Amino acid sequence: MNPLLIKLGERIRTLRKAKNISQETLAEKADLHTTYLGQIERAEVNASINTIYKIALALGISLSELFTFLSDEESTIKSNLLLSEIIQLSNKTDEETIKIISKILKDILYLTTVSSHTIKS
C-alpha cells in the first residue's frame, strides 16, 4: 500500500473522530458514498484531489491542514510546550490579569466555534 494514502486515510479518520463525526455524516457532507469514504480511510483507493478537497471542506479545514501529518506524540509535545509557556507567563502576573486572560481565551474559543459553524452552513 502507498504510505501517503495510508497517512492521509489515518489523518481523515483522526480528524473525523476528533470532531465526533461519523463516517456516514462526513460522507454525506462531502457528497460521497459511505463505502468510498471508508475505502479512502483504509487507503484502499487513490482518491482524486477534488474528492480530497470535498472531504477537507466537510471537515471544516483547509487542504494544507489535512495534509499536516503530525504524529499524536509530536502534537501532544507541542501542545504541552505551549501550555507550559502559558503557565510560566501566568505565574509572572497577578490574579486579576489571569482572570482577564482566561475570559479572553474563552471568548476567542467561543468565537472560533461560532464562526466555524457559520462557515459550514
| DSSP per-residue string spanning 57-104 | HHHT--HHHHT----HHHHHHHHHHHHHHHHHHHHTS-HHHHHHHHHH
State residue 69's pLDDT score: 73
> Grid coordinates in use for 98?
489571569
pTM listed for this prediction: 0.58
Higher pLDDT, 26 or 99: 26
Q: What DSSP state is assigned to residue 45?
A: S
More confident residue, 85 or 61: 61
Residue pair 102/110 in contact by the 8 Å Cβ criterion: no
Instruction: Check residue 43 and give its pLDDT.
Output: 95
pLDDT exceeds cutoff 70 at 35? yes
Give per-residue pLDDT as tens, 91-113. 888 888 888 888 998 888 888 77
